[in-house]
């Protein structure tokens, strides 16, 4: 029986746990003991990860899953039910129906229309930072509000209502949150979004929820669940990348200067930060519906396989010298947005936000620096998405 449990403890803020790095250097797939004692697998190799995530006989449905780590919210031992619209926890063909409808809303046209607005929002927050002066917390003043405001405008959510859903989404992301608090937070967000859906049925606008309503194919419950997924994912993940990305650059001045001073580096530099930092550090996981061979290893039906994204994105067979941040390296093929049918729908929006916000921050404040020692920056090791809780900076 395997004694390896899912490694979470980090020795350095930007690197995967040493145990993960060691495993990656030994091979692509390893036996793993899950929190409930299940003997499953851990993938640390790039090709193996893509094979698992693209395979149509690996399921994302929770009834097939085993918990990676002990969670207070899972004390009952029972998998959470999948509400209508929760497409992240569905397989084809159910998943395909929702995916097709949403792809029709995340259009190139909509992203292009949003681009000047994202630049405007960024400039407004940079102006506010300049007026306030340092030191300040970059997470609260910049990294969190920009993607929050953008996703609110995209969905048609009143931004003035953000305080409650931001607190609730933080509770949902915290791995220490208990079952009762998770249920309460989800209930508050769902009630808020259901009210929004009903109002948009009466008074549609040029936003994503109204666009989904216009298709006539979704119930109010489905619309509420989809809005919930997009609202949480739309500000949590990009906010963490902006905060952690800034922290990484502030401790690596040469890379910061390259990204700040050379516009031709920006697009590739953002991809490199996505690869190098890999904020999704807990899963994704899939369960085999039949016996499947991955990289010469037989995964038997019923066995759960977890993909360790930070390890996969540093696989030296795909990314030579991958443990080093290099914003000029050709960085394609990382799986920071996933792979296969569940690949992140909002990845282009996240890229646009980062390509605009991060260089603008560095140019506006060329003297930007940490206001504390690097060791004093509190890390989000207790959350589903890795990042920084706070980033005190000055200039």
Structural domain contains residue 254: yes
- Note down the domain range covering 81: 18-394
More confident residue, 147 or 167: 147
The mean predicted confidence, pLDDT, of the chain is 92
Structural domain contains residue 303: yes
Residues 6 or more apart whose CB falls under 8 angstroms from that of 305 comprise 29, 40, 41, 42, 43, 52, 58, 285, 286, 287, 288, 294, 299
pLDDT tens by residue, 299-346: 999 999 999 999 999 999 999 999 999 999 988 899 999 999 999 999
In the block, tokens 């890999």 appear at 278
Q: How confident is the model at residue 126 (pLDDT cuts 50, 70, 90)?
A: very high
SS (H, E, C) 369-389: EECCCHHHCCECCCECECCEC
Q: Where residue 110 sits, what CATH number does that domain have?
A: 1.10.630.10
Structural domain contains residue 6: no
d(C-alpha 53, C-alpha 89), whole Å:
13
pLDDT tens by residue, 268-290: 999 999 999 999 999 899 999 99
d(C-alpha 291, C-alpha 6), whole Å:
23
At 395 the pLDDT is 97
Q: Name the nearest CA neighbour of 64 among 85, 43, 36, 44.
A: 36
Tell me the three state secondary structure of residue 166: helix
Structural domain contains residue 199: yes
For the chain, counts of helices (H) and of strands (E): 14, 10
Structural domain contains residue 67: yes
CB 177 within 8 A of CB 167: no
Structural domain contains residue 108: yes
**Number of structural domains in the chain:** 1
Is the pTM higher than 0.75?
yes
Structural domain contains residue 13: no
Structural domain contains residue 209: yes
d(C-alpha 375, C-alpha 366), whole Å:
22
Q: How confident is the model at residue 73 (pLDDT cuts 50, 70, 90)?
A: low
Return left, alpha or beta for 206; rule: phi > 0 is left, psi -120 to 50 is alpha, else beta: beta
Q: Name the nearest CA neighbour of 169 among 224, 233, 90.
A: 233
Tokens of 361: 């921050």
Per-residue pLDDT, averaged over 73-88, amounts to: 70
């Amino acid at each position: 029986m395997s004694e390896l449990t899912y490694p979470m403890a980090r020795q350095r803020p930007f690197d995967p746990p040493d145990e993960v790095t060691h495993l990656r250097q030994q091979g692509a797939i390893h036996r793993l003991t899950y929190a409930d004692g299940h003997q499953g697998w851990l993938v640390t190799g790039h090709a193996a990860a893509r094979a698992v995530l693209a395979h149509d006989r690996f399921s994302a449905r929770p009834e097939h899953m085993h918990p990676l780590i002990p969670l207070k919210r899972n004390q009952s031992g029972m998998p959470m039910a999948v509400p209508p619209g929760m497409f992240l926890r569905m397989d084809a063909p159910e998943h395909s129906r929702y995916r097709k409808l949403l792809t029709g809303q995340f259009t190139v046209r909509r992203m292009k229309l949003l681009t000047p607005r994202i630049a405007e929002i960024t400039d407004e927050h940079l102006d506010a930072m300049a007026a306030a002066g340092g030191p300040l917390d970059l997470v609260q003043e910049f990294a969190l509000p920009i993607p929050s405001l953008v996703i609110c405008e995209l969905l048609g959510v009143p931004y003035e209502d953000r305080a409650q859903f931001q607190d609730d989404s933080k509770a949902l992301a915290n791995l220490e949150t208990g079952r009762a608090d998770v249920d309460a937070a989800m209930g508050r967000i769902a009630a808020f979004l259901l009210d929004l859906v009903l109002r948009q049925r009466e008074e549609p606008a040029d936003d994503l929820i109204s666009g989904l309503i216009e298709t006539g194919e979704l119930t109010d419950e489905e619309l509420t669940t989809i809005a919930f997924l997009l609202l949480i994912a739309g500000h949590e993940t990009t906010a963490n990348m902006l905060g952690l990305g800034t922290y990484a650059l502030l401790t690596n001045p040469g890379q910061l200067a390259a990204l700040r001073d050379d516009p031709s580096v920006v697009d590739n530099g953002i991809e490199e930060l996505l690869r190098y930092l890999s904020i999704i550090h807990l899963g994704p996981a899939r369960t085999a519906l039949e016996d499947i061979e991955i990289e010469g290893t037989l995964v038997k039906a019923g066995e759960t396989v977890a993909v360790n994204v930070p390890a996969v994105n540093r696989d030296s067979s795909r990314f030579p010298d991958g443990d080093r941040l290099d914003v000029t390296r050709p960085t394609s093929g990382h799986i920071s947005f996933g792979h296969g049918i569940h690949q992140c729908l909002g990845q282009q929006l996240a890229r646009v936000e980062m390509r605009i916000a991060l260089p603008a921050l560095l140019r506006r404040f060329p003297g930007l620096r940490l206001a504390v020692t690097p060791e004093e920056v509190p890390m989000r090791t207790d959350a589903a998405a890795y990042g920084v809780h706070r980033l005190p900076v000055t200039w």
